[in-house]
Amino acid sequence: MYTTIAMAALAAFGLGLSAGVRADVTVMLPSLCSGHGRSFLLFLFVSALLSGPLTNTFENTERAAASLLCGAELAANQTQELMQRSATPLFSALDKIREISSNAHAVAGRVQNFIHTLTDSVRHVARTLRNVLHFLVDIGDKCNAILGSPYRKCRAVFLDARADCSDLLGEFNFLCDIVDVFLPLCSLARAGELFCTIPSYIAGHLKKRLAAPTVAAFQRLKREFDFNVSASVKFDLDANSSRSLQQVSRDIMEEVSSELHLFQTLSAPLTYGGLVLLACSYLRAVRYRRRFLSDLDFDNVYISAQFEELDRQLTSGGGASVLPITRLEAKTYITPLSFHLSGREWRAVLAGVVSVLRHLVMGSLLVALDFLVFWILDQVQNQVKGDVVARAPVTVAVQVNGSGYASDIFRDLVTSFNILQGGNITVISRKCLLAPSEPDYSTCFTLGFLLGLSLLVSLSRGLMQRCRRLACASYHPHREQERIRFLRQQILDQRWTLGNVLRRSAARIRADAGGGGSHLQALLLRLPGGVHLSHLLGLSLVTCLACGEEVRQDEDNMAACDVPQCAGVFCRPCFHSLGNTCVACERPLTSQEDGEEELDSSDDEQLDSTHRATRRRRGAVSMATRPRPRESDTGVSPDSELSEADMTYQDRPESWYPDLNTTQDETLHRVITHT
């Protein structure tokens, strides 16, 4: 702000105290409406683009990043809560389970005492039964040992008798088989053993019917009161992190803020860009005015009303007229207030339009990006206005396994205990809901207005640049008159140069085509009385190679080339206008009254070779309209060349520049001057 105030104060004092400053500022004003103005407007466009849509895009990006980080922290907190609930599903019912466990423990203690008492009584009965069983087993064994001896002794006697009989009879031992007939009689001695099996039967029956059921009953009773209450959770989590999520989110936000701060720091000097452009425009205006005053040829291509007035004054005084200018000259010299643009101005206009279109594409992309980011974030905001709630996936229930009256007792106790994780868990909360920054529509309108104004300035650049000369002319009218006179004389000089070249070219073409007559006629004309001799021989009069007019009979009006085999014949005005030089062989000529010089054979051969080389040269002439003509401005169409050849050169007497239409229509196609 202070810099702007200082520059405004300096400009105000300069405008009030110095006429040169006023002139420079006046010259600068059209520059602001031309290329420099377009640059200034595009700079304002870029500044508005950076401070508007691009800054808003960065703001929405930062808000989206903050919302994502908040959502990440919320997700981390919710995940931690879910982990705790999953790891400790029975914490909310732990007191009830403890109460149930304590009651079960008390019942188990009383049952245990009852079982101990019952066990002692059963053990006493068991010991008595064991003694009875042992007695029965022992009495059976003793009975078998005592009563089983007669049977064994009887069988032993019969078996010994059979063995002795077999030994004594030898071959007749089959007679001993009669002993086997009486062997079953020993079974009568086992009748007493039947009484010995009664104690064993009683012992087995007692063991099967009394001992085994009693033991099984005790085992079932023990299992009825054998229970275990346990709560187990298996949870595995691997988390390796050197920093917490809050620290990571803080670092990310600091990095984003640093990037935005760097961008703002770099864009801060752009605020002084407008002042710099104004200063550059002023310096260019000062340079333009200095060159306007020092260089007559600088930006001096305008056919103004003052130029026309000066041309009318000089023409009325007997001078040569410049107006109207030719079509070729119209490509370089223009009227200040006309809408016709020169080639240079057209190229400048197209370059400005391309620059504006390039900025239009860039600005459209950035504005579209701003609206796209805002639309996406706005859709996200509309979709997540309500909280997204999820039920806990963990359901905890206490289950009693087993059968029997004790299991039924515990199952009845815990029937009412069925914990369901009915708490709702918030996954997405309004706390992290972002509020996107809406694009500024007035800024978009300003951007469009600046681009439209830049396009208008680019299209009117050629017309506005002409106003610089008008400003300088208004402050320096005497210098403007000098520039107008210089421009007029420059056009006349260019026309004279062009006419001279065209005459030389036309004469050279006519000489190549056979000249104004035959070689015999040219030879007769060089001799005294050659004109009368040519009339006697019936030969027609020759014509001037330059203008095509018939040469008069008096030899003072004719100049013929003295080189053998050269058809160069000129009238006296054309001879002087060509610099006393034959354009057919490019050799200085002397008239007959000046005397003739003899040429040796070597000179003749050299001139003949020069003449033949000259006949091989062709081209088109191009009028040099500037000290350094451009290639694009040097091309001339055939129509424009023919029109140039038809003009009258006013800065010389009319007799010096006869009409060349007849010769050009037949022989002149394109002419180039080589300097």
433-474 pLDDT tens trace: 777 888 888 888 888 888 888 888 888 776 777 777 777 877
What is the pLDDT at residue 552?
Answer: 56
When comparing pLDDT for 275 and 188, which is higher?
275
Q: Is the pLDDT of residue 627 over 70?
A: no
User: Confidence class of residue 601 from pLDDT cuts 50, 70 and 90?
Assistant: very low
Q: Note the pLDDT tens digit of each residue in 219-263.
A: 776 666 665 656 454 555 555 556 665 666 667 667 766 766 666
DSSP H helices, 394-529, are 405-413, 441-459, 461-475, 477-512, 519-526
pLDDT tens-digit profile of 356-410? 898 899 888 988 988 888 888 888 777 766 555 555 555 556 676 777 645 665 6
Q: What is the pLDDT of residue 164?
A: 79
User: Are 165 and 173 in contact, with CB atoms under 8 Å apart?
Assistant: yes
Give me the pLDDT at residue 576, please.
Answer: 65
Question: Over 50: is that where the pLDDT of 39 sits?
Answer: yes
Question: Residues 367, 372, 378, 381: is their CA dihedral positive or negative?
Answer: negative
Residue 625 pLDDT > 50? no
Q: Is residue 481 predicted with pLDDT exceeding 70?
A: yes
Is the pLDDT assigned to residue 604 strictly greater than 50?
A: no
> Given pLDDT bands bounded at 50, 70 and 90, which one contains residue 494?
confident
Long-range contacts of range 381-384, CB-CB < 8 Å, 24 or more positions apart? 381/433, 381/434, 381/435, 381/436, 384/428, 384/433
**Residue 666 vs residue 471, higher pLDDT:** 471
- pLDDT grade, residue 613 (50/70/90)? very low
Query: Would the pLDDT of 21 be above 70?
Result: yes
In angstroms, the CA 617 to CA 639 distance is: 22
| Cβ atoms 541, 533 nearer than 8 A | no
Please answer whether residues 586 and 637 qualify as being in contact, where contact means their C-beta atoms are separated by less than 8 angstroms.
no
Sequence-ordered list of residues with C-beta below 8 angstroms from that of 404, at least 6 positions apart, any chain: 220, 223, 224
Residue 43 has pLDDT above 60, yes or no: yes
CA–CA distance, 597 with 600 (Å, rounded to integer)? 10
Q: At residue 123, does pLDDT exceed 80?
A: no
- Percentage of residues in the chain having pLDDT higher than 70: 44
Per-residue pLDDT at 291: 82
Q: What is the pLDDT of residue 228?
A: 63
Percent of the chain with pLDDT over 90: 0
DSSP 271: G
Instruction: Please determine, for residue 294, whether its predicted confidence score (pLDDT) is greater than 50.
Output: yes
The whole-chain average pLDDT of the chain stands at 66
- Token pair belonging to 374: 């805002």
Q: How far is Cα 421 from Cα 410, in angstroms, rounded to an integer?
A: 23
Interval 52-92: pLDDT, tens: 888 888 888 878 777 777 777 776 776 676 666 555 545 55
Q: pTM score, two decimals? A: 0.46
Cα separation, 382 vs 377, whole angstroms = 9
* 283 pLDDT higher than 50: yes
